[in-house]
Amino acid sequence: MNIFSPITTLQGIGPTRAKQLEKLEIRTIYDLIAYFPRTYEDRTKMVDIRDLETDTPACFEAMVVRAPHTAHIRKGLSITKLTVADMTAKLDLVYFNQPYAADQLRYGESYVFYGALSGDYARFQMQNPVFELPDRPGTRTRRIMPIYALTAGITNALLVKCIHQALDACLGEMPELLPERIRQKYDLCSAREAYANIHEPKDHEALDRARKRLIFEEFFLFAAGLRLMRSRRTQVQTVPYRDLSLQAFYDALPFTLTGAQQRSICQIAEDLAKGTPMNRLLQGDVGSGKTMVAAAAAYLAAKNGRQAALMAPTEILAEQHHRSLSALFERFGIRSALLTGSTPAAEKRQIKEALSSGALPFVVGTHALLTEDVTFRELDLVIADEQHRFGVAQRAALSEKGRSPHLLVMSATPIPRTLALMVYGDLDISILDELPPGRQVIDTFLVGESMRARINAFIRKHAAAGNQIYVVCPAVEESEFDSIRSAEVWAQSLQQAVFPDLRVGLLHGKLKAAEKERVMGAFSRHELDILVATTVIEVGVDVPNATLMVIENADRFGLSQLHQLRGRVGRGKDKSYCVLFSSNKNQQTLERLKALCKTNDGFKIAEEDLALRGPGDFFGSRQHGLPQFKAADLSLDMALLNEAKTAAEQVLADPNYVLDPTFPAMQTRIAAMFSKDGNTFN
């Protein structure tokens, strides 16, 4: 058996269990050793029977003083009872459906048990405590017990046993991938020590050290991977842009750009003049004016005789962009076109021809633009709007459309700066941290069910004034387990019972694309008064006439997501409002929601979200198309993440690193990490 043998080489793992384990993505001994516990149960505390408590499990050593007796109550239910005692007290133990307990627990013998009391003062007892002999090292008691995420057919005990076997046989083969001097500098234990202690921690200190090492390792790999991608990119040569004058562009705008917009445009212009492909993220809150920054970039491309494409995640957004940009570009004699799934065939053909001949310098569209049979003479600049829909993988795929085109991705999901540096390690970042002047503040209220009638009246008032309303629900369909609002049911009941005289529409992700477009179109043409929707409206939808947003079960959403949703209103001249419904009583949850009522600043809200919920949420949501982190989810310590990143950069900066004995292992792991995300990385 070696570390890459299939798990069937372990005792007790046949084909059936191997299949079940595959659901946990465990196929080899290595996979098993790299399967980290979800959490731990501290079974290290030994107490006297007298000091046992209800609901707080602990270990105690006791002798069986009344032999087990099993009663078969009915088919499928047996109860085994016995009494144990130590120097301080006696205790009745009860086992349900565990007749083998009666065979194993012998009268007059002592065992170590682990369990919590149940019952009351009148008659304490303990149900189903685990037990083992006291003269051997504990496997189920007197230890920190790892608890694994399970799947059908696989018990925690089975995993504990198999992993013990695997560690016994193969731990010595676990490769070290952190260079010696890095381990010394950051006080990190060896890979072997870490893998042994993450599963079978000697004590809390050993567990902490194992965790620290594994989190560090994971981020080290991640940062190194991003860094390698970046260095590969900067080796590519491009022809620098020569004409960087933007005065005519600025003069044509009906407003003055904000300082942040100008700064970002300058950063982009510098990238374009550099001679290596740009790879830049433009982050800016909803309404901060990202489109104009993108327009400036496209303008420069056209002025330099290059082709540019602006890609939006939905047809609605693509149309919006086209509407605002084509008129502007016409003034400079720059032709542009819109290409989506709905473009009539004849027009589509013309646009495609013009793109492949190079006659058309600028095109706006959905990502069909880049996957269909569209060819460019030379695509030199790709701009992707609402970046969080595209992962690291898609970013790479995009660049393959041209010959290493410049890439600008735009995101309205503010990520705290500290995290962004890590998450977007392969991108340069520009931030629009300033809104155009005169932006209105959206008044936000947190309310409970008692306010329902008043909010309904408020909805009616907005509709009567000729404005429109969004109602957002966390779920699409009714679920029997949850009391959360479903968009389908809620839309129906609003239409039938509450607002029979108003026009209510329904929009959610399970609708066909054409139906979505139809509903959205109807709402933007004001053929609907109320749009009941799920978070599908989160991204970029722009209906300036909408002035009220009501969010049901607001506690179900992340703060940044709520902020994003709220950005759908306040886009026109009329005063706008956001109402958050929540019947949640949890103090911390309410604090979170109140933070949203207090500020309209997306970055502040993201920082707050980070402080309240921890970075796990940012990584967990998979919104960023990042690899899934395994160890890092256990606990996240910003300082440690930063150290790992610095270390990775230091190590890679040294050209002799390829000679380090840890190099091959690192390379293999990085490849695995990024390829899981659909990336090719070699």
Residues that bind ligand ADP (CB under 6 A): 255, 257-258, 261, 284, 286-292, 412, 436
Q: How far is the CB of 601 from ligand ADP (least distance, A)?
A: 14
Which is closer to ligand ADP, CB of 125 or CB of 324?
324
| Beta-carbon contacts of residue 86 (< 8 Å; ≥ 6 apart) | 48, 49, 60, 61, 62, 63
User: Which token pair is 4?
Assistant: 């890459």
Which is closer to ligand ADP, CB of 260 or CB of 670?
260
Q: How far apart are CA 545 and CA 561, in angstroms?
A: 22
Which is closer to ligand ADP, CB of 256 or CB of 496?
256
Q: How far apart are CA 120 and CA 600, in angstroms?
A: 52
User: Which token pair is 86?
Assistant: 């130590």
Q: How far apart are CA 279 and CA 408, in angstroms?
A: 6
Which is closer to ligand ADP, CB of 296 or CB of 579?
296
Q: Which helix (H) or strand (E) holds 63?
A: strand 58-74
Amino acid residing at 355: L
- For 483-598, strand residue ranges (E) read 504-507, 530-533, 546-551, 577-581
The SS3 assignment for 310 reads: strand
Q: Over the Cα atoms of the chain, what is R_g?
A: 31
Provide the b/e sequence for 460-482 (b: ≥16 CB within 10 Å): bebbeeebbbbbbbbbbeeeeee
3-state secondary structure 474-539: CECCCCCCCCCCEHHHHHHHHHHHHCCCCCEEEECCCCCHHHHHHHHHHHHCCCCCEEEECHHHHC
Chain centroid to CA 598: 25
Which is closer to ligand ADP, CB of 167 or CB of 311?
311
The number of C-alpha atoms within 13 Å of 110 and in the hemisphere containing its C-beta is 9
Q: How far is the CB of 287 from ligand ADP (least distance, A)?
A: 5
Alpha carbon distances (Å) from 421 to 292, 425, 642: 24, 6, 9
Which is closer to ligand ADP, CB of 4 or CB of 255?
255
Q: How far apart are CA 482 and CA 475, in angstroms?
A: 10
Between strands 123-127 and 90-96, the pairing is parallel
Q: How far is the CB of 279 from ligand ADP (least distance, A)?
A: 20
Which is closer to ligand ADP, CB of 176 or CB of 434?
434
End-to-end CA distance of the chain: 29
Q: How far is the CB of 316 from ligand ADP (least distance, A)?
A: 13
Which is closer to ligand ADP, CB of 434 or CB of 677?
434
- Fill in the DSSP letter of residue 57: -
Which is closer to ligand ADP, CB of 299 or CB of 376?
299
Q: How far is the CB of 290 from ligand ADP (least distance, A)?
A: 3
User: Which token pair is 74?
Assistant: 């009915």
| Beta-carbon contacts of residue 468 (< 8 Å; ≥ 6 apart) | 462, 523, 526, 528, 529, 530, 531, 543, 545, 546, 547, 548
DSSP track, 89-110:
-EEEEEEES-HHHHHHS-TT-E
Q: How far is the CB of 317 from ligand ADP (least distance, A)?
A: 9
Which is closer to ligand ADP, CB of 385 or CB of 552?
385
Contact by Cβ (8 Å): 522, 510: no
Q: How far is the CB of 508 from ligand ADP (least distance, A)?
A: 23
Amino acid residing at 494: L
Q: How far is the CB of 412 from ligand ADP (least distance, A)?
A: 6
Q: How far apart are CA 625 and CA 424, in angstroms?
A: 11
Which is closer to ligand ADP, CB of 287 or CB of 615?
287
Instruction: Please name the residue ranges forming H helices in 404-451.
Output: 417-423
The SS3 assignment for 287 reads: coil
Q: How far is the CB of 309 from ligand ADP (least distance, A)?
A: 17
| Beta-carbon contacts of residue 418 (< 8 Å; ≥ 6 apart) | 610, 638, 642
Q: How far is the CB of 364 from ligand ADP (least distance, A)?
A: 13
The SS3 assignment for 233 reads: helix
Q: How far is the CB of 292 from ligand ADP (least distance, A)?
A: 5
Contact by Cβ (8 Å): 113, 84: yes
Which is closer to ligand ADP, CB of 146 or CB of 567?
567
Which is closer to ligand ADP, CB of 547 or CB of 662?
547
Q: How far apart are CA 38 and CA 140, in angstroms?
A: 17
Which is closer to ligand ADP, CB of 261 or CB of 304?
261
Residue nearest to ligand ADP (CB): 289
Contact by Cβ (8 Å): 343, 416: no
Nearest to 433 by CA among 286, 269, 271, 253: 286
Q: How far is the CB of 377 from ligand ADP (least distance, A)?
A: 28
Q: How far is the CB of 288 from ligand ADP (least distance, A)?
A: 4
Which is closer to ligand ADP, CB of 179 or CB of 414?
414
Contact by Cβ (8 Å): 537, 568: yes
Q: How far is the CB of 280 from ligand ADP (least distance, A)?
A: 15
Q: How far apart are CA 517 and CA 501, in angstroms?
A: 24
Q: How far is the CB of 289 from ligand ADP (least distance, A)?
A: 3
Which is closer to ligand ADP, CB of 96 or CB of 255?
255
Q: How far is the CB of 569 from ligand ADP (least distance, A)?
A: 13
